[in-house]
Structure 1
Amino acid sequence: MPDIIIAFPKIEDAMSIKNALVRNGFEVNATCTTGAQVVGIANELDDGIVICGYRFSDMHYSELNNYLPKGFEMLLIASAAKLEECTDNNIVCLSMPIKMQDLLNTVQMMSYNYSKKKKKLKDKPKPRSEEDKAIITKAKLVLMERNNMTEEEAHRYIQKNSMDTGTNMVEMAEMILSLI
């Protein structure tokens, strides 16, 4: 579940949206009335969703969006006329007057996308260190020399055997080097 920050110039607006979200199972981390408050809280959190109005006493929504850390998404709630000015494709927009079901569905969709993005980043393989790359390269060179394999065949051999044995490629390369 993403961290949620709600920001509107009037605290009553922020609190009514917060109460609606909390009643429907969302956890709201903070409610704010200025852009500076949002930026301060967002910098303490890793990532999440900012639900906000069009203009604050200290900044415009587009400025706030620029100041947000990389992992944050924005849901802008404003009049239809103001939303026409929003040309940023990374900002999700809802027009006023807001229907509560539209708000809930939109936040649900943003939460789902957030979870998907988090999982994708988590599943992304970590880059190999230079030391690990050197071990794999050395094992490939040994296989190429001793077994007359091409570089691609040696790589596939290490890769296939590592998958068959449930070890990573570096461990398999170390095993090959220790055997030869």
Structure 2
Amino acid sequence: MSSSIVIALPKIEDAKKIRTILNRHGLTVASVCSSVSNALASISELDSGVLICGYKLTDAYYKDALDDLPQYFEMLLLASQRIIDEAPNSVSTVQMPMKASVLIDTVNDMLYHLERRIKKEKKKPKPRSEKEQNYISNAKRLLMEKNQMTEEEAYRHIQKCSMDSGTNMVETAQMLLMLMYDEI
């Protein structure tokens, strides 16, 4: 998944100038526009990235775009200090007039942190279904009854068996249930 940049400023010429600056520093801009609706339309076709925008666009304010940003998009607001002081904490900011180096550094930082967040969330295990959770709960219950274990001991036992056998916890719980029911 590669992150993209969308620029939305009220004056399209300003957006194009910023695109040129970003391109010179190796950053690819997916789209340049002057309205929130066009920016959101462009963003909807992308996986992740940064929306660089001004305070007021041709059809709405930056906060309107912020409300509709997808999970893996972050906003960089280019505005005066007065507007920046009122911006929510979730919005990164660069004060106007700006230096190109500050813009480049800020965008690079945002893209780096966004990529890290995406990688971290991809590594998270997906939540278990109710059926899968029931296998583990039933295996724990049987271990607690048959082997006089606490709930934590039963869970650790399933976890250890899972690691030792190289199977996930649900498969291990299913195997334990089959073995224990065969004994009954």
| TM-score, scaled relative to structure 2 | 0.88
Unaligned regions of 5+ residues in structure 2, if any? none
Displacement of 1:14: 0.9
Q: 1:58-117 CA distances to partner (integer Å, 9 max, x unpaired)?
A: 112222222323432111112334434x33111111112221111111001101110121
**Which residue pairs with 2:148 in the alignment?**
148
**Which residue pairs with 1:23 in the alignment?**
24
Structure-2 change in CA distance of 1:139 and 1:78 (3 Å): same
1:88-99 matches, within 5 Å, as 88-99=88-99
In structure 1, how many angstroms separate the alpha carbons of the residues matched to 2:140 and 2:58?
63
In structure 2, how many angstroms separate the alpha carbons of the residues matched to 1:9 and 1:23?
22
**Which residue pairs with 1:77 in the alignment?**
78
**Which residue pairs with 1:124 in the alignment?**
124
Count of matched residue positions in the alignment of Structure 1 and Structure 2? 179
1:107-122 matches, within 5 Å, as 107-122=107-122
**Which residue pairs with 1:134 in the alignment?**
134
Q: 1:109-128 CA distances to partner (integer Å, 9 max, x unpaired)?
A: 10111012112211222111
Unaligned regions of 5+ residues in structure 1, if any? none
In structure 2, how many angstroms separate the alpha carbons of the residues matched to 1:39 and 1:128?
33
Q: 1:20-62 CA distances to partner (integer Å, 9 max, x unpaired)?
A: 2122222211111111111222233343210011211211222
1:154-169 matches, within 5 Å, as 154-169=154-169
Q: SS where residue 44 of structure 1 aligns?
A: coil
| TM-score, scaled relative to structure 1 | 0.90
In structure 2, how many angstroms separate the alpha carbons of the residues matched to 1:28 and 1:7?
11
Matched-pair contact (CA < 8 Å) for 2:72–2:118: no
In structure 1, how many angstroms separate the alpha carbons of the residues matched to 2:150 and 2:84?
59
In structure 1, how many angstroms separate the alpha carbons of the residues matched to 2:58 and 2:130?
51
Residue 50 (structure 2) pairs with residue 54 (structure 1):
no
Matched-pair contact (CA < 8 Å) for 2:3–2:50: yes
Which shifted more, 118-127 or 75-84? 75-84
In structure 1, how many angstroms separate the alpha carbons of the residues matched to 2:156 and 2:164?
12
Structure 1 residue identity aligned to 2:148: N
Structure 1 residue identity aligned to 2:54: G
Residue 176 (structure 2) pairs with residue 176 (structure 1):
yes
Structure 1 residue identity aligned to 2:151: E
In structure 1, how many angstroms separate the alpha carbons of the residues matched to 2:133 and 2:82?
56
Q: Percent identity?
A: 46
In structure 1, how many angstroms separate the alpha carbons of the residues matched to 2:78 and 2:141?
60
In structure 1, how many angstroms separate the alpha carbons of the residues matched to 2:58 and 2:157?
63
In structure 1, how many angstroms separate the alpha carbons of the residues matched to 2:6 and 2:111?
13
